[in-house]
Amino acid sequence: MGENQRRMEAGEWFFPDDPQLAADTVRRVELCARYNDAPTGQPREERDEILRELLGSVGDGVRIRAPFHCDFGRNIRIGAGTFVNFGAVFLDTAPITIGADVQIGPNVQLLTPTHPLDPSARRAGWERGLPVTLGDNVWLGGGTIVCPGVTIGPDTVVGAGSVVVKDLPAGVLAVGNPARVVRSLGPAEAGPGHPDDEVPQAP
């Protein structure tokens, strides 16, 4: 392992312009192209095999609609039953961990890279990554951006177009830029349709 990769994986400042990291990028480009350009009729098993090669871990029943884009792929772990809609961008300089049964709307961005605020250090090219974590059963509305270092607790819903800049607790509704918690979500509020509708029970 090279020094810059070691620094990156340790969450330290590193230089991304590194031959070993560039080789990882070539791998990602090739696998993403295979996945995104796969013909409509290609068996799902073959597409799933590409995902398993690209990503660090993929649970059963994961569905990702193309196009899908990432930095490395190997730093992404996705739990069973999760659905990712069109146009997702997961920049995985640091680990991106997605729980089970997560719903991710179109054009969502999960961003782990950050850069120095000091202009001279930024001009020199320093970068580091801060992990992003989504708990089980999170729902991110279309166009949501999750910033470096953020954890979103299980069962939380983030409204479309929100920018999440700090951690969100479990079981809340958050909206806006920056995203703010507007209320807690109880079982009845989590049901389909109007709040007065009966919530279906498990069979």
194 noted as active-site residue: no
Structure-block tokens of residue 93:
């300089």
Alpha-carbon span 142 to 60, nearest angstrom:
23
Alpha-carbon span 11 to 72, nearest angstrom:
15
Give every CB contact of residue 71 below 8 A, 6+ residues apart in sequence.
25, 28, 90, 91, 92, 93, 113
Of 74, 77, 115, 180, which residue is the catalytic one?
Answer: 115
Tell me the β-bridge partners of 129: 113
C-alpha count within 13 angstroms, C-beta hemisphere, residue 39: 3
Which residue, among 79, 58, 67, 60, has the nearest Cα to 35 in the 3D structure? 67
Give the Cβ contact number of residue 38 at 10 Å. 15
Q: Which residues are catalytic?
A: 115
